[in-house]
Amino acid sequence: MSEGEVFHEKQRLELCAIHALNNVLQERVFTKETADDICKRLAPQCVMNPHRSVLGTGNYDVNVIMAALQSRGLAAVWWDERRSVQNLCLDKIQGFILNVPSRVSLGIVSLPLRRRHWLAVREVHGHFYNLDSKLKGPACIGGETELRSFLTEQLSQDVAEMLLVVQKEVDEDGTWLKPDDTRK
């Protein structure tokens, strides 16, 4: 990847959690094999692992994402959507991983089903990007104002969730949140 480029993995199988992790880290760190190893560590006695698809195609849960980030000295902070995204201290946040409803399609045919999908958002070279693996490439969101609008819109969807990707120390001291918001 040359300077100025934005790393972006595209969707394959049900590996959106892996793509979101790699996209938020801006490098290929995790693979299906590393995610499967994390699943085995999380549930060593289970024949049918509860942290991934029984078909072996991915569909990893939040526990896998959190363990993967911890292996890199990072933490995932659950965002309480009762708060305003205006309270985020963006300079302390490495990126965002969102879990949003997503349409299911077979080729060009869209089915009347909705599933959950992981996507990443982060700042690269002074601009925030939507790094959704279902997109053809990174989509520039813009600056802080546009990012806050984007996140608010994403979180307004039914059952959308957001994780803040931060350094472990930032999680521990809570500096991902502006000091005037005292609810933690």
In the residue annotation, 127 being an active-site residue is answered as no
Helix (H) or strand (E) holding 99: strand 95-106
In angstroms, rounded to a whole number, what is the distance separating the alpha carbons of residues 118 and 134? 10
In angstroms, rounded to a whole number, what is the distance separating the alpha carbons of residues 59 and 1? 27
In the predicted structure, residue 15 carries a pLDDT above the cut 80: no
pLDDT for position 58: 56
Question: Is 178 within the bounds of a domain?
Answer: no
| Single pTM value for the model | 0.83
In the predicted model, what is the mean pLDDT of residues 88-112? Answer: 78
Marked catalytic residue, from 8, 19, 51, 117: 117
In the residue annotation, 39 being an active-site residue is answered as no
Marked catalytic residue, from 16, 19, 39, 51: 16
In the residue annotation, 37 being an active-site residue is answered as no
Q: Which domain holds residue 76?
A: 15-173
In the predicted structure, residue 114 carries a pLDDT above the cut 70: no
Question: Is 10 within the bounds of a domain?
Answer: no
Total domains in the chain come to 1
In the predicted structure, residue 154 carries a pLDDT above the cut 80: yes
